[in-house]
Protein backbone atom coordinates (compact mmCIF):
# COMPACT_ATOMS: atom_id res chain seq x y z
CA UNK A 1 0.00 0.00 0.00
CA UNK A 2 1.48 3.30 -1.09
CA UNK A 3 1.24 6.33 1.13
CA UNK A 4 0.97 9.70 -0.49
CA UNK A 5 3.49 12.29 0.57
CA UNK A 6 2.73 15.98 0.60
CA UNK A 7 5.40 18.24 -0.87
CA UNK A 8 5.74 21.42 1.14
CA UNK A 9 7.15 24.18 -1.00
CA UNK A 10 9.60 26.52 0.78
CA UNK A 11 8.31 30.00 1.44
CA UNK A 12 10.34 32.63 -0.46
CA UNK A 13 12.58 34.76 1.72
CA UNK A 14 10.97 38.03 0.66
CA UNK A 15 7.55 36.73 1.72
CA UNK A 16 8.98 35.68 5.10
CA UNK A 17 10.39 39.16 5.51
CA UNK A 18 7.09 40.82 4.61
CA UNK A 19 5.24 38.54 6.99
CA UNK A 20 7.68 39.27 9.80
CA UNK A 21 7.50 43.04 9.18
CA UNK A 22 3.70 43.04 9.23
CA UNK A 23 3.59 40.94 12.39
CA UNK A 24 6.22 42.88 14.36
CA UNK A 25 5.88 46.32 12.79
CA UNK A 26 5.72 48.04 16.19
CA UNK A 27 9.11 46.68 17.21
CA UNK A 28 10.62 47.74 13.89
CA UNK A 29 9.19 51.24 14.33
CA UNK A 30 10.94 51.47 17.70
CA UNK A 31 14.15 50.27 16.07
CA UNK A 32 13.90 52.63 13.08
CA UNK A 33 15.40 55.79 14.71
CA UNK A 34 18.52 53.88 15.78
CA UNK A 35 18.91 52.33 12.32
CA UNK A 36 18.47 55.71 10.64
CA UNK A 37 21.06 57.23 12.97
CA UNK A 38 23.56 54.46 12.18
CA UNK A 39 22.93 54.76 8.45
CA UNK A 40 23.39 58.55 8.35
CA UNK A 41 26.16 59.14 10.87
CA UNK A 42 28.08 55.83 10.91
CA UNK A 43 27.79 54.12 7.53
CA UNK A 44 27.14 57.16 5.34
CA UNK A 45 30.48 58.85 6.10
CA UNK A 46 32.33 55.68 5.01
CA UNK A 47 31.87 56.93 1.46
CA UNK A 48 34.34 59.72 2.23
CA UNK A 49 37.11 57.29 3.25
CA UNK A 50 38.16 57.06 -0.38
CA UNK A 51 39.78 60.50 -0.20
CA UNK A 52 42.54 58.82 1.84
CA UNK A 53 43.61 57.35 -1.51
CA UNK A 54 42.99 60.49 -3.58
CA UNK A 55 44.43 63.94 -4.12
CA UNK A 56 41.31 65.63 -2.88
CA UNK A 57 40.27 68.92 -4.44
CA UNK A 58 37.21 70.73 -3.17
CA UNK A 59 36.32 71.93 -6.67
CA UNK A 60 36.36 68.37 -8.06
CA UNK A 61 34.56 66.71 -5.17
CA UNK A 62 35.18 63.26 -3.77
CA UNK A 63 34.27 61.39 -6.93
CA UNK A 64 36.19 63.65 -9.32
CA UNK A 65 39.45 63.88 -7.37
CA UNK A 66 42.34 61.85 -8.88
CA UNK A 67 43.56 58.65 -7.24
CA UNK A 68 47.05 58.66 -5.67
CA UNK A 69 47.02 55.21 -4.07
CA UNK A 70 49.03 54.92 -0.85
CA UNK A 71 50.87 58.20 -1.25
CA UNK A 72 49.40 59.82 1.88
CA UNK A 73 50.22 56.78 4.00
CA UNK A 74 53.82 56.78 2.78
CA UNK A 75 54.07 60.50 3.53
CA UNK A 76 52.81 59.98 7.06
CA UNK A 77 55.06 56.96 7.76
CA UNK A 78 58.13 58.82 6.52
CA UNK A 79 57.36 62.10 8.30
CA UNK A 80 59.27 63.05 11.47
CA UNK A 81 55.93 63.37 13.28
CA UNK A 82 54.97 59.71 12.78
CA UNK A 83 57.11 58.12 15.50
CA UNK A 84 56.38 60.89 18.00
CA UNK A 85 52.58 60.91 17.70
CA UNK A 86 52.38 57.11 17.55
CA UNK A 87 54.56 56.62 20.64
CA UNK A 88 52.70 59.36 22.53
CA UNK A 89 49.31 57.87 21.62
CA UNK A 90 50.28 54.31 22.60
CA UNK A 91 52.07 55.38 25.78
CA UNK A 92 49.18 57.53 26.97
CA UNK A 93 46.55 54.96 25.99
CA UNK A 94 48.20 51.96 27.62
CA UNK A 95 49.08 54.02 30.71
CA UNK A 96 45.43 54.99 31.03
CA UNK A 97 44.32 51.39 30.42
CA UNK A 98 46.66 49.93 33.06
CA UNK A 99 45.71 52.53 35.69
CA UNK A 100 42.04 53.16 34.91
CA UNK A 101 40.73 49.69 34.07
CA UNK A 102 41.29 47.84 37.40
CA UNK A 103 40.15 50.69 39.69
CA UNK A 104 36.40 50.48 38.89
CA UNK A 105 36.54 46.75 39.61
CA UNK A 106 38.22 47.35 42.97
CA UNK A 107 35.73 50.11 43.81
CA UNK A 108 32.76 47.90 42.92
CA UNK A 109 34.12 45.05 45.06
CA UNK A 110 34.63 47.41 48.00
CA UNK A 111 31.16 48.95 47.70
CA UNK A 112 29.66 45.47 47.47
CA UNK A 113 31.07 44.61 50.90
CA UNK A 114 29.26 47.47 52.63
CA UNK A 115 26.26 46.41 54.66
CA UNK A 116 24.85 49.86 55.35
CA UNK A 117 22.63 50.67 52.36
CA UNK A 118 22.45 54.35 53.28
CA UNK A 119 26.23 54.71 53.53
CA UNK A 120 26.69 52.72 50.32
CA UNK A 121 24.28 54.99 48.40
CA UNK A 122 26.06 58.06 49.77
CA UNK A 123 29.47 56.83 48.59
CA UNK A 124 28.10 55.84 45.20
CA UNK A 125 26.79 59.37 44.67
CA UNK A 126 30.12 60.85 45.77
CA UNK A 127 32.00 58.70 43.26
CA UNK A 128 29.47 59.14 40.42
CA UNK A 129 29.12 62.93 40.50
CA UNK A 130 32.57 63.78 38.97
CA UNK A 131 31.53 61.96 35.79
CA UNK A 132 29.04 64.74 35.02
CA UNK A 133 31.69 67.46 35.09
CA UNK A 134 32.51 68.47 31.51
CA UNK A 135 36.03 68.03 30.14
CA UNK A 136 36.37 71.80 29.71
CA UNK A 137 35.55 72.40 33.37
CA UNK A 138 37.89 69.58 34.43
CA UNK A 139 40.83 71.08 32.53
CA UNK A 140 39.97 74.49 33.98
CA UNK A 141 40.11 72.96 37.47
CA UNK A 142 43.51 71.44 36.67
CA UNK A 143 44.81 74.82 35.53
CA UNK A 144 43.48 76.47 38.70
CA UNK A 145 44.79 73.90 41.19
CA UNK A 146 48.22 73.56 39.52
CA UNK A 147 48.75 77.26 38.77
CA UNK A 148 52.27 78.45 39.60
CA UNK A 149 50.92 81.59 41.22
CA UNK A 150 48.10 80.96 43.67
CA UNK A 151 47.41 77.31 42.81
CA UNK A 152 46.41 75.13 45.75
CA UNK A 153 49.03 72.44 45.06
CA UNK A 154 51.86 74.94 44.62
CA UNK A 155 50.79 76.80 47.74
CA UNK A 156 51.11 73.56 49.70
CA UNK A 157 54.51 72.86 48.10
CA UNK A 158 55.71 76.39 48.96
CA UNK A 159 54.36 76.05 52.52
CA UNK A 160 56.73 73.14 53.10
CA UNK A 161 59.66 75.00 51.57
CA UNK A 162 59.60 73.51 48.08
CA UNK A 163 59.92 75.28 44.72
CA UNK A 164 56.79 76.06 42.78
CA UNK A 165 56.30 73.76 39.75
CA UNK A 166 54.61 74.54 36.44
CA UNK A 167 52.72 71.23 36.28
CA UNK A 168 50.84 72.03 33.06
CA UNK A 169 54.04 73.14 31.35
CA UNK A 170 56.10 70.06 32.17
CA UNK A 171 56.15 67.35 29.51
CA UNK A 172 56.91 64.72 32.14
CA UNK A 173 53.78 65.70 34.10
CA UNK A 174 51.30 65.62 31.21
CA UNK A 175 50.52 61.89 31.20
CA UNK A 176 50.14 61.72 34.98
CA UNK A 177 47.77 64.70 35.02
CA UNK A 178 45.79 63.31 32.08
CA UNK A 179 45.39 59.81 33.47
CA UNK A 180 44.75 60.55 37.14
CA UNK A 181 42.30 63.38 36.44
CA UNK A 182 40.44 60.82 34.31
CA UNK A 183 40.56 58.34 37.18
CA UNK A 184 38.93 60.88 39.50
CA UNK A 185 36.30 61.72 36.90
CA UNK A 186 35.32 58.29 35.57
CA UNK A 187 36.13 55.56 38.10
CA UNK A 188 32.83 55.79 39.94
CA UNK A 189 30.80 55.82 36.74
CA UNK A 190 32.72 52.90 35.21
CA UNK A 191 32.13 50.88 38.38
CA UNK A 192 28.36 50.82 37.76
CA UNK A 193 28.47 47.89 35.33
CA UNK A 194 30.65 45.82 37.71
CA UNK A 195 28.34 46.67 40.62
CA UNK A 196 25.41 45.43 38.54
CA UNK A 197 27.29 42.23 37.71
CA UNK A 198 28.06 41.65 41.39
CA UNK A 199 24.38 42.01 42.27
CA UNK A 200 23.64 39.04 40.01
CA UNK A 201 25.82 36.63 41.99
CA UNK A 202 23.81 34.06 43.97
CA UNK A 203 23.94 35.13 47.66
CA UNK A 204 23.73 31.48 48.75
CA UNK A 205 27.33 31.08 47.54
CA UNK A 206 28.47 33.62 50.13
CA UNK A 207 26.38 31.96 52.82
CA UNK A 208 27.92 28.59 52.04
CA UNK A 209 31.41 30.14 52.07
CA UNK A 210 30.76 31.66 55.50
CA UNK A 211 29.66 28.27 56.83
CA UNK A 212 32.93 26.82 55.55
CA UNK A 213 34.85 29.55 57.39
CA UNK A 214 35.86 31.71 54.40
CA UNK A 215 36.68 35.33 55.19
CA UNK A 216 35.77 38.37 53.10
CA UNK A 217 38.96 38.28 51.03
CA UNK A 218 38.48 34.60 50.28
CA UNK A 219 34.88 35.23 49.24
CA UNK A 220 35.95 38.08 46.94
CA UNK A 221 38.72 35.97 45.37
CA UNK A 222 36.78 32.73 44.94
CA UNK A 223 33.20 33.98 44.40
CA UNK A 224 32.95 37.63 43.39
CA UNK A 225 35.84 37.87 40.93
CA UNK A 226 35.03 34.59 39.10
CA UNK A 227 31.37 35.63 39.05
CA UNK A 228 32.09 38.89 37.23
CA UNK A 229 35.00 37.60 35.13
CA UNK A 230 32.94 37.42 31.88
CA UNK A 231 31.95 41.07 32.38
CA UNK A 232 35.57 42.00 33.13
CA UNK A 233 36.80 40.36 29.95
CA UNK A 234 34.13 41.95 27.77
CA UNK A 235 34.98 45.37 29.18
CA UNK A 236 38.70 44.66 28.77
CA UNK A 237 38.31 43.72 25.11
CA UNK A 238 36.29 46.89 24.50
CA UNK A 239 38.92 48.98 26.28
CA UNK A 240 41.76 47.48 24.25
CA UNK A 241 39.76 48.09 21.06
CA UNK A 242 39.63 51.79 21.93
CA UNK A 243 43.31 52.17 22.78
CA UNK A 244 44.03 54.33 19.74
CA UNK A 245 40.81 56.31 20.14
CA UNK A 246 41.97 58.30 23.15
CA UNK A 247 39.98 61.49 23.55
CA UNK A 248 40.94 64.51 21.48
CA UNK A 249 39.21 67.19 23.53
CA UNK A 250 41.00 66.72 26.82
CA UNK A 251 44.45 66.27 25.26
CA UNK A 252 43.96 69.36 23.08
CA UNK A 253 42.77 71.51 26.00
CA UNK A 254 45.71 70.45 28.16
CA UNK A 255 48.21 70.93 25.36
CA UNK A 256 50.60 73.89 25.17
CA UNK A 257 53.90 74.61 23.49
CA UNK A 258 55.84 73.52 26.60
CA UNK A 259 54.34 70.02 26.94
CA UNK A 260 53.72 69.30 23.25
CA UNK A 261 56.54 66.75 23.27
CA UNK A 262 54.28 64.28 25.09
CA UNK A 263 50.81 65.78 24.50
CA UNK A 264 50.84 65.61 20.69
CA UNK A 265 48.83 62.47 19.89
CA UNK A 266 47.27 61.22 16.66
CA UNK A 267 43.89 62.85 17.42
CA UNK A 268 45.37 66.34 17.94
CA UNK A 269 47.70 65.92 14.97
CA UNK A 270 44.80 64.98 12.69
CA UNK A 271 42.90 68.07 13.87
CA UNK A 272 45.81 70.36 13.06
CA UNK A 273 46.52 68.77 9.70
CA UNK A 274 42.92 68.27 8.62
CA UNK A 275 41.16 71.41 9.82
CA UNK A 276 43.84 74.01 10.43
CA UNK A 277 45.86 73.18 7.29
CA UNK A 278 42.89 71.90 5.23
CA UNK A 279 44.76 68.71 4.19
CA UNK A 280 41.62 66.59 4.29
CA UNK A 281 42.99 63.67 2.28
CA UNK A 282 46.14 63.39 4.38
CA UNK A 283 44.18 63.64 7.65
CA UNK A 284 41.74 60.96 6.45
CA UNK A 285 44.64 58.62 5.70
CA UNK A 286 46.01 59.12 9.21
CA UNK A 287 42.58 58.51 10.73
CA UNK A 288 42.15 55.34 8.67
CA UNK A 289 45.54 54.06 9.84
CA UNK A 290 44.49 54.78 13.42
CA UNK A 291 41.25 52.78 13.00
CA UNK A 292 43.04 49.84 11.38
CA UNK A 293 45.40 49.61 14.37
CA UNK A 294 42.36 49.74 16.68
CA UNK A 295 40.73 46.91 14.73
CA UNK A 296 43.87 44.74 14.97
CA UNK A 297 44.08 45.33 18.73
CA UNK A 298 40.38 44.54 19.15
CA UNK A 299 40.59 41.24 17.23
CA UNK A 300 43.76 40.25 19.10
CA UNK A 301 42.24 41.02 22.52
CA UNK A 302 39.02 39.19 21.64
CA UNK A 303 40.94 36.11 20.46
CA UNK A 304 43.00 36.11 23.65
CA UNK A 305 39.87 36.48 25.79
CA UNK A 306 38.09 33.58 24.08
CA UNK A 307 41.10 31.30 24.51
CA UNK A 308 41.59 32.18 28.17
CA UNK A 309 38.02 32.53 29.46
CA UNK A 310 35.77 31.33 26.59
CA UNK A 311 34.23 34.84 26.61
CA UNK A 312 34.41 37.42 23.83
CA UNK A 313 32.54 40.07 21.94
CA UNK A 314 31.85 37.58 19.14
What's the pLDDT at 269?
92
Q: Which pLDDT value is given to residue 8?
A: 56
Residue 55's contacts (CB-CB under 8 Å, 6 or more residues apart) are: 65, 66, 67, 68, 71, 281
Query: SS3 of 104, please?
Result: helix
Q: What's the pLDDT at 7?
A: 57
Show pLDDT as tens, one digit a residue, over the chain (314 residues): 455 555 555 667 777 888 888 888 888 899 999 999 999 998 888 888 899 999 998 888 888 899 999 999 999 999 988 999 999 999 999 999 999 999 999 999 999 888 888 888 899 889 999 999 999 999 999 999 999 888 889 899 888 888 888 888 888 899 999 999 999 999 999 999 999 999 888 888 888 888 888 888 888 898 999 999 989 999 999 888 888 888 788 999 999 889 998 999 999 999 999 888 889 999 999 999 988 988 898 899 888 888 887 877 77
CATH code 1.10.275.10 for 61-309:
no
Contacts of 303 (CB under 8 A, 6+ apart): 312
- Give the pLDDT score at 145: 92
Q: Look at residues 239, 230, 242 and name the one whose alpha carbon lies nearest to residue 196.
A: 230
Phi-psi region of 213 (alpha: psi -120 to 50; beta: other; left: phi over 0): left
Question: What does the domain layout of the chain look like in residue ranges?
Answer: 61-309
Q: What is the pTM of this model?
A: 0.83
Packing angle, helices 13-23 and 25-38, rounded to 10: 100
pLDDT for residue 35:
92
Provide the CA 105 distance to its chain's centre, in angstroms.
16
Total Cβ atoms within 10 A of residue 187: 22
Measured between alpha carbons, how far is residue 147 from residues 114, 152, 201, 255 in Å? 38, 8, 47, 15
Amino acid sequence: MKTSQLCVLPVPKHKKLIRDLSKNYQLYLLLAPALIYLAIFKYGPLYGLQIAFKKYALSLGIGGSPWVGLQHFRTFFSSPQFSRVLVNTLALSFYELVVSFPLPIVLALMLNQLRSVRYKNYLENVFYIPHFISVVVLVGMLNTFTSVQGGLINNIVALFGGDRINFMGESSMFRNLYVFSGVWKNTGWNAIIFTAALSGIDPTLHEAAKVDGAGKLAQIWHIDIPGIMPTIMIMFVSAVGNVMSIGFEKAFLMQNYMNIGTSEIIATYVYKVGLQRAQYDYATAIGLFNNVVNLILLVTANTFSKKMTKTGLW
